Each structure stands twice: as structure tokens, then as C-alpha cells.
Amino acid sequence: MQNPIQSLLQKSDPSNIQSPESLKSGLMTRILFALFLTMSFFQICKSQEATSAPRPAEVYNKVDEKPVVSVLTIPVNVSLEDLTRSLNAQIPSVLYEDYSYTDNYNDGLMLKAMKSRDVSLSFSNNAVKYKVPIKLWIKKDLMVTDAEAEGELSLSFKTTYAINPDWTVRTNTEVEYHEWLTKPVLKTGLGDISIETLANLALNRSKKTLTQTLDRYVAQQLNLKPYVEAVWTAIQEPVLLDEQYQMWVKTTPMSIGMSPVVSDWNSIKTKIAVECLNDVSFGRKPGFRENSILPDLKQVNANIPDDFMIRVTTDVPFPEAERLAKMTMVGQEFTSGKNKVRVEDIQLWGNNDKVVVKTLLSGAFKGDIYFIGRPEVNMELRQIEIKDLDYHVDTKNFLTRSASWMFQGPIKNQMAKAMVFPLDENLRDLRQSVQESLTNYQIQPGITLNGTIDSIAVENTTVTPTSIRVFLFSHGKVRVDVKGL
């Protein structure tokens, strides 16, 4: 397109000569007319272009969530039946042997104590009581000859136990009483001689060895330390809570304690409580440094709460949020006086902790305007709402100069109503996914994690580069079952 000034300033026909005054006046008229045409030309070109408000920046806050402190409970139940079976399998058949006449200050007596039948057990407070049927073989030096005797008795033992600060078990076994089932009789050429008194003396001398033997085996069966160490190490392994979002929870144990041991006729019970930090991350399995050093035991109340809290999240991806908003808004027309606009497209992104709604309009206003608001969860309606949705400040300034009539229209209120994104399905799926992860989750062979989700509560909402993310507290109960306890 030829510039109007150049066209009008071209040389005139030489045959058409005017006076200097006339020439000067005509020239000024042509210059003014040319300037008018130029301004009109640029105005027409400008009117043919789309007009848009300034675009708000796409920026995101760094999410720095503190880990959640929880208590992981490990119920310990040592059954009478299991302990009895294990002790009978481990206690040797021969409990005591003395084949020397000169031992025990030359007592002239040999003695062998053998378990004749299975041991029977019972629990009483912090003690294990059991009866050990014992068959005795006795050989006595009668100076001129030897004589042998056999008898059977039931020894009643009591083992008291306590857990040391380093998780080892301290036991003390003592003989409470004994009862002869078959009294020993020494067979000689002169006849049978009852040697119950002599056998009692020999038995008393062997009690220390017998109780030490039983101490060792009972302590092995009641030893919690290997199991607690295995659990302490195993719970540090990150657990995949949600495969779709690749959501991991990493547990960092801080301290460990145990409630007082209680017993009934069938078992002894206690509860081990691990205070730990739970941290949620997304993507690849988080790295962790295993801490295998088991802290010293501390005593805790038997009624220690066993609530377990995990921070979980659910996302509404921007493409899904845009799809829902477009279903409501795209194609709608809004009128303000003689002016009418139509919504053509919607796009969402984040601006720190808020959501920007880019809206493309056609009609009396052609171009983009921007709304901004803060995402918030309405748990009663189980949905995300964009609260305080309003024109972005730069859009306000822009429309004030070019299309202030738009402030009078209903578009802002309708847009706010459209910015609602349901969470019901997300929460249901999330709860199901977490519950499945907490059901018979094998941390390692022999150590299984089980739990239930009781409730889910909103903590806060944030905006990520890909979604509106809701952080929630999942409350429930989680325990670790250790095979063999």
C-alpha cells in the first residue's frame, strides 16, 4: 500500500503553475489531509488485530511440607501353646549328668536327670511357671559294691523375666517345689533301701545347673530383640501407596517404646510403639539411608494411642479441569448493554498459590482476558472451588481503558460458578488405593504391614505445574505383624 503522504507530495504538472501564496496554502491542506489518512489507515489496521489483556506469569511456589509424626504399633503376643511347643522342642532330654563319685566334695554319688515327658507351662503376671517331669538315675558307692536306683518326680519352676534397656531379656529361674511320682529305691543284696533323702540331697545340688539350663532356653524364646530390630529396619523401606500417581510414603523411625507386659492363662502380651515421621513423595522410589541401630527401650503407657497418620494427595490435572470448565462455558454468550461477547476457549495454569483462567472471547471484544482465584476444597460437597475469582489486576487495568462495559456483564459470576471440580471419585479411589496398599503389605519375609483408613481430612491445597493438588491427612490404624511372635 502506497503511503498517502508520498502520493500527495508528488510533483504537480509543470503547466499548472500557481502563486507562492496559493502553493503554500494548498501544500498545507494536502499535508493535513495526508496525516488524517495515515492515522485512519493505522487505526483500520489496528482494529483488524485481536486485542488481549497482558498475560499473567506462570509461576509456582515450592511446596515444603513437613513430615507427619505418627505412631506405628507392633502387637506382641506370645501364646502359651507356641511357647510350650517351642520349649519342648528345644529343651534337651538330658538335663543334668554327674558320672563322678568324687564330684561335689566326694559325695560318692552319680546322678543323671532326664526329661521324661513334655513340659507344661502357665503364665502368672511377669513370670512363666512350668512343670518338668524328670526321671532320675542314681548310682551310689557302697564301699564294697555299687548300687543303682531310679525314680521319677515333677519339678515346678518359676521364671521371672524383664526386658533390659537394650532389648535383651533378663530371666531368673528357681525351683519352687518338687513332687515325687516314683520314689527312688536302691536295690542291694540286703534288700531295697529307700534313698529319697539321698536323692533330695543330690537334686538340691543339681538345681543350679537345672535352673541355668532352663534360664537359657526360656530367655531364647522370650527374646524380642531380633524381631524388633527386624521391624525397625524393615519399616524404613518406602511403601508405594498409589501406583497411578507414583505416590510413596517413607517412614523414618525416631524412637521406640514398649508397654508393660501383661498375661492371662493363654498368652503374654505387650505393645511396641514406634514414633516415626511419614513423608510423601512422587515419582521414582525415594532414596533413604537405612538406620539399623535400634535405640534403647523406653517404657510407654499401655493405652498409648495407635492412630497412624499419613499425608496423602489427590490431583485434578489441568487438562481435566479445563475440560470440565469448557463444558460449562465454551459457547456461552454474555451481553452488557449493546455489547455481546462469546467464550471461545479456556486454559488454566498456576500463579504462585492461585489459578489463572485464560479466557478467549469473540464478538464486541476479541482477544484474551484473565481471571485469577484461589483453589479451596469444600469437603462437604467434596469438590474443589476457585474462591474469590476476579479479573486479574492487569486485565482490570486493560479493560478500564478499552472495554469497561465488560465489568457490568455476568461473565465473571458465571465463570466462578464454572470453576468447580468434583473430588468424590478421586477421594474414593485414593482411599481404596491406600487401603489396598495397607492390607497384608509384605515389607520383607515374615514382616507384614496391615492397616485401616478411618477418615480423610483436608490439610491444604496447592498448585503444581500440572495440576491442582490437594494434601490430605489420612487417619487410621496400622500395625506390623511379625511371624513367630
Q: Tell me the angle at which helices 318-329 and 411-418 cross, rounded to the nearest 10 degrees.
A: 130
Measured CA to CA, the distance from residue 477 to residue 473 in angstroms comes to: 13
Measured CA to CA, the distance from residue 213 to residue 95 in angstroms comes to: 7
Spell out the per-residue pLDDT of the chain, length 485, in tens.
444 444 434 444 444 445 555 545 555 555 555 554 444 444 434 433 448 899 999 999 887 667 777 777 777 777 788 878 888 888 888 888 888 888 777 778 888 888 898 988 888 777 888 888 989 888 887 776 777 888 898 889 898 888 888 888 888 988 888 888 888 877 766 666 677 776 777 677 777 877 888 888 888 877 878 878 887 888 888 888 777 767 788 888 888 888 888 877 788 788 888 888 877 777 788 887 778 788 998 888 877 776 777 777 788 889 999 999 999 999 999 998 889 999 999 999 999 999 999 999 999 999 999 999 999 999 888 899 999 999 999 999 999 988 999 888 899 999 999 999 988 888 888 788 778 877 887 766 767 778 888 888 888 899 999 999 888 888 888 777 766 55
Measured CA to CA, the distance from residue 198 to residue 326 in angstroms comes to: 101
Q: Which residues, 6 or more positions from 40, have their beta carbon under 8 angstroms from its beta carbon?
A: none
**159: Cα within 13 Å, side-chain hemisphere:** 26
Kindly write down the DSSP assignment for every residue of 263-294, as one continuous string: E-SSEEEEEEEEEEEEEEEESSPPP------P
Measured CA to CA, the distance from residue 58 to residue 29 in angstroms comes to: 52
160: Cα separation from own chain's centroid: 38
- CA torsion 344-348-349-355 (nearest 10°) is 120
For 18, 326, 349, 356, the CA distances from 360, given in Å and listed in that order, are 57, 11, 15, 13
For 359, 390, 407, 421, the CA distances from 412, given in Å and listed in that order, are 11, 7, 8, 17
Sign of CA dihedral 224, 227, 235, 76: negative
Residue listed under C-alpha cell 505387650: 270
Q: Which of 289, 294, 295 is nearest to 250 (CA)?
A: 289
Q: Which of 131, 141, 91 is nearest to 111 (CA)?
A: 141
Kindly write down the DSSP assignment for every residue of 69-123, as one continuous string: EEEEEEEEEEEHHHHHHHHHHHS-SEEEEE--SSHHHH--EEEEEEE-S--EEEE
- CA torsion 173-176-180-186 (nearest 10°) is 70
Does pTM surpass 0.85? no
For 54, 100, 201, the CA distances from 362, given in Å and listed in that order, are 17, 113, 111
